Amino acid sequence: MPVTDDHSSDVVQASTAPFQLARQDLLCFFIREAGIDQYPAVVRLQRVIGSMRTYNQLVDYARETQRDGKPLLARSSVRLPLADLKIDFEVGRNLAYRVAWMQGAGLVPNYEASVAKMFGSELVQRLANVGVGILGLGGQLAPGSPWAPLEGSIETLYLSSAALTIAAGTSEVQRNIIASRGLGLPRD
């Protein structure tokens, strides 16, 4: 099932169906269809796509917020981590879509699901870290605070993302799966 590369849109187009599916609907479909191996990956796909919105908001914030007469984005300490994250999001999307594509093709993703899950979990944590760094002290303000930049979304992401590398299989266990099932390395 080809997926459009339209980052600004919140929909994907399925060439096999004469309609557009909201991304969340499509993800729910894959979650229902997924076996236990793929479940963590589809959950992480949901996370990666949801976090892309936060990432885009962060870029807008850095573009629009002035410090010393210049936008934050003019600083290399802001620009470079955001550029790295952009690369990571492209990689994360494609890793997750590979799992979905394999399911659609009747294949059984195995270590591929672990790759997508682990990368997506750690990507969201990197985003939260970069976000708190860019927003500074304001990044620690929770939703509801009138002074919280981006309505406190970075604070929430920072706190909630800690669990991502534990829930649905820890990153250590995912790495073990990739090593043994993906690379064929011995367990001991």
Ligand X SMILES: Cc1cc2nc3c(=O)[nH]c(=O)nc-3n(C[C@H](O)[C@H](O)[C@H](O)COP(=O)(O)OP(=O)(O)OC[C@H]3O[C@@H](n4cnc5c(N)ncnc54)[C@H](O)[C@@H]3O)c2cc1C
Instruction: Pick between residue 18 and residue 186 the one whose CB is nearest to ligand X.
Output: 186
- Rounded to whole angstroms, the Cα distance separating 79 from 70 reads 13
The binder of ligand X chosen from 107, 145, 172, 180 (CB under 6 A)? 172
Identify residues 64-103 at the interface with ligand X (CB under 6 A).
none
Q: Does 166 bind ligand X (CB under 6 A)?
A: yes
Instruction: Pick between residue 92 and residue 169 the one whose CB is nearest to ligand X.
Output: 169
Q: Does 169 bind ligand X (CB under 6 A)?
A: yes
The binder of ligand X chosen from 31, 102, 168, 179 (CB under 6 A)? 168
140 to each of 128, 132, 151, 157, 179, how far by Cα in Å?
A: 11, 7, 11, 10, 37
* Per-residue b or e along 65-95, where b marks 16 or more CB atoms closer than 10 Å to that residue's CB: beeeeeebbeeeebeebbeebeebbeebbeb
Q: Does 31 bind ligand X (CB under 6 A)?
A: no
Catalog residues that contact ligand X under the rule CB under 6 A. 163, 166-170, 172-173, 176
